[in-house]
Amino acid sequence: METDKWGIRITHLRGVLEVCDAVRERSKNSSISSEKILYSRSLFNKGLLHGHSLISLLENAIKDRGLADIAGMCAISRCLIEVHNAFCYLTEKGIGKSEQEFRLAVLSLNHSTDTIRIGDALGNNGNSPYADLNLTILDWAKGKLRDNEIFKNFEEKQQKHLLRGRSPYSSLEYMGDRPVRKEIESAVYNLFSHNVHSYALGLHGVFGGRDTPAGQLNQVFLAVEFGLIYLSHIAIKYWNLRFNAIKKLTKQEKETLETGYCIKNFMNWKIQIEQP
């Protein structure tokens, strides 16, 4: 597996972005046949934008190592993990119609609830032309939940929690394939979150250590590696979901994405880190 300096797959990330740009171009004019397709397109595009932002910060770091925005790269990579997991949750194959409608209703309720709450705090709800629409969507989503068979099976306490609209996702867990094990994802997400919240491991030059996962160069490696892994996995899933719109990938395009979410490079890095 080809790597650039320090084992960071910069060239491969550029290649994955080129494939994703091509996929987006091929599918941009195709019709949207369902809410699942609508959300998949939006999440794929969001992930693609994050990928371009990640490579921009990385290229700036290469030009001037003294101004490397490590926290920014970690924050973007964390966003890509969240985009990936939202994509998988909302487009999961094999779930029934009732569960699909349940997940979308929970998301719609959270959207309207937070839109109204934010509007109230910022003082623009009364002047917003979308105020009535948000209330309509709020009532619709609550009605969809109350009528949903999965919702009816929850205990009353959980039903009340869901109807508050505080969470965009339910406790129903995505059961499909993942690019990495959950414990690895959790550890990397935690490390990236230190950068997002300015916790100790995100204060470069104060905490961490060069030879630990929290070292500055290692955090750059992890941000790029996991951003690449999750973006590639999103792209493969989007292609599988929208094959009729995107059509067949070339052999090189498919290999680029498949090696993109391969964890071999990460595992090689992990072995080096564990050596005394």
Distinct helix (H) and strand (E) counts, the chain: 12, 0
Give dist(CA 112, CA 245) in Å, integer: 31
Nearest to 1 by CA among 234, 228, 237: 228
Indicate if the pLDDT at residue 265 is higher than 60.
Answer: yes
Give dist(CA 19, CA 238) in Å, integer: 12
Split at pLDDT 50, 70, 90, the class of 124 is low
Claim: this prediction has a pTM higher than 0.85: yes
Supply the pLDDT for residue 167: 87
Alpha helices by DSSP H, listed for 94-177, are 97-122, 131-147, 149-152, 156-163
Indicate if the pLDDT at residue 5 is higher than 70.
Answer: no
Question: What is the tens place of the pLDDT at every residue in 126-142?
Answer: 666 777 787 888 899 89
Question: What is the tens place of the pLDDT at every residue in 59-85?
Answer: 888 887 667 899 999 999 999 999 999
